[in-house]
Amino acid sequence: MELNAKKQLHFTFWSGNGPSLIFIPSADLIQYDVDDYESRFSDPAKMYESEIKRASAIIDWPTDGIPTIRPNLGTIFIPAIAGQDYMIRDGQMPWPGSHFTVDQIRSLKNIDIENAQMMRLALEFYSIHRSIKSKEIECYHPDTQGVYDILHLLRGDELFYEMITEVDQTKELLGIITDLYVEVTKVLKAKIGEPANEMIHGHGTQQGLFFPQAGTRLSEDTDTLLSPAMIDEFAIPYMEQASKPFGGAFVHYCGKHEYLYEKILDCDFVRAIDLGNPEMYNTEWLLQKCAETDTVFYGKLAAQENEIWQDYIIRISKIIKKTGARCVLRPTVFPEIQDQCHEMLEMWHELTV
């Protein structure tokens, strides 16, 4: 299926029509390829070559996903733009370096985002793609994290104490990081050439989803360490502020926090949610909550022990029908043979239409 046809399929899905979508992998690839990563990290041409190789396998593959690439610069992308140092250890993604003082974070109001070294790596990656004029593969954002996650990366665990002892200061810093997040995202979107309120996002994979009413992604992993009251006060308001310029957001977090899940779904600016650990939850409960709030569940759903792919998608589709949820499934059980993947795609569409 050509790129424009897949975009139309996704648009139809978002309008509430047609089947749920399924992103069938072309192979059981590791999400983050760290082989010779340090060399690729600092060389946009090498990074582009690696990402294109992964995405090219999707072009003629039976899947609803759009072939996508991004400059894979890790969670330190925005902190590094802010000036935080980082470490790249053998066989790992980048780690943040020294934490910032409060005054260092306050000084971020005046930084030159577009000319920061980390941003230049991303922009050069996009320039390479634009020069090639690909009609089959789309670019998406680096890992921009979310407001609270970024502040935690910059401030460290001291942040947890300051939320109690320095409430006003913490909110001031969250406001500064919100502005930084928004401005970084605007620079990226301008270079990619996408509207403010739209995006294609691959979420760390080589298959992307077209979002016609959400222009950014928020990653809220650190929020799982917070109490319900702290989530209400220090997380949700800044998620809303960060997403407002982009018409809505796609939200992700890892770990288990049922209050956080329900609270995110209650936000009218959230269009879709992904969980890093769906196996920690009851699948029907997850999809029921999405159906109740008209939020798309986008991501993996846990397979049962020794479950084959046919039984897996039949079981998941029955839950979708029962709950009325809309789902973009990244299956955890799938065939390796292309003909069987065709069968899986057709079967999923028939079961969820």
Digit-coded pLDDT (tens) for 171-230: 999 999 999 999 999 999 999 999 999 999 999 999 999 999 999 999 999 999 999 999
Amino acid 30: pLDDT: 65
Buried b (16+ CB within 10 A) or exposed e, 216-233: bbbbbbbbbebeeeebeb
Digit-coded pLDDT (tens) for 57-100: 999 999 999 999 999 999 999 999 999 999 998 788 999 999 99
Contact between 138 and 3 under an 8 Å Cβ cutoff? The reply is: yes
Amino acid 277: pLDDT: 96
Amino acid 133: pLDDT: 87
Percent share of the chain, pLDDT over 90? 92
Amino acid 34: pLDDT: 77
Coil, strand or helix at 104: helix
Amino acid 4: pLDDT: 87
Q: How confident is the model at residue 31 (pLDDT cuts 50, 70, 90)?
A: low
Average pLDDT over residues 113-125: 98
Mean pLDDT of the chain: 96
Sign of CA dihedral 95, 241, 70, 42: negative
Average pLDDT over residues 279-308: 97
Q: Which residues pair with 253 in a beta bridge?
A: 275
Amino acid 291: pLDDT: 98
Residues sharing a CB contact under 8 Å with residue 164, sequence separation 6 or more, in sequence order: none
pTM, full prediction: 0.96
Q: How confident is the model at residue 28 (pLDDT cuts 50, 70, 90)?
A: low
Average pLDDT over residues 34-53: 92
At 39, which amino acid appears?
Answer: S
Measured between alpha carbons, how far is 60 from 6 in angstroms, rounded to an integer?
12
Of 273, 277, 221, give the one whose Cα is nearest residue 251: 273
Measured between alpha carbons, how far is 253 from 259 in angstroms, rounded to an integer?
13
Measured between alpha carbons, how far is 68 from 137 in angstroms, rounded to an integer?
5
Pairing relationship of beta strands 66-69 and 138-139 according to DSSP bridges: parallel
Digit-coded pLDDT (tens) for 136-158: 999 999 999 999 999 999 999 99
Digit-coded pLDDT (tens) for 318-339: 999 999 999 999 999 999 899 9
Could you give the C-alpha distances from 10 to 18, 54, 109, 341, in angstroms and in order?
9, 22, 38, 19
Measured between alpha carbons, how far is 307 from 303 in angstroms, rounded to an integer?
6
Measured between alpha carbons, how far is 35 from 293 in angstroms, rounded to an integer?
41
Contact between 61 and 26 under an 8 Å Cβ cutoff? The reply is: yes
Residues sharing a CB contact under 8 Å with residue 182, sequence separation 6 or more, in sequence order: 241, 242, 245
Contact between 244 and 270 under an 8 Å Cβ cutoff? The reply is: no
pLDDT surpasses 90 at 27: no
Measured between alpha carbons, how far is 222 from 153 in angstroms, rounded to an integer?
9
Provide the H-helix boundaries in 30-76: 37-41, 44-56
- CA 298-300-302 angle, to 5 degrees, is 140
Average pLDDT over residues 22-45: 85
Of 126, 230, 228, 113, give the one whose Cα is nearest residue 179: 113
DSSP string for 107-159: GGGG--STTSHHHHHHHHHHHHHHHHT-SS-EE-------HHHHHHHHHTTHH
Q: At what angle do helices 236-243 and 147-155 cross, to 10 degrees?
A: 110
Digit-coded pLDDT (tens) for 94-117: 999 999 999 999 999 989 999 999
Measured between alpha carbons, how far is 234 from 216 in angstroms, rounded to an integer?
20
Domains with residue ranges and CATH for the chain? 3-352 (3.20.20.210)
Pairing relationship of beta strands 199-201 and 207-211 according to DSSP bridges: antiparallel
Measured between alpha carbons, how far is 227 from 271 in angstroms, rounded to an integer?
24
φ, ψ for residue 112 (rounded to 5)? -90, 95
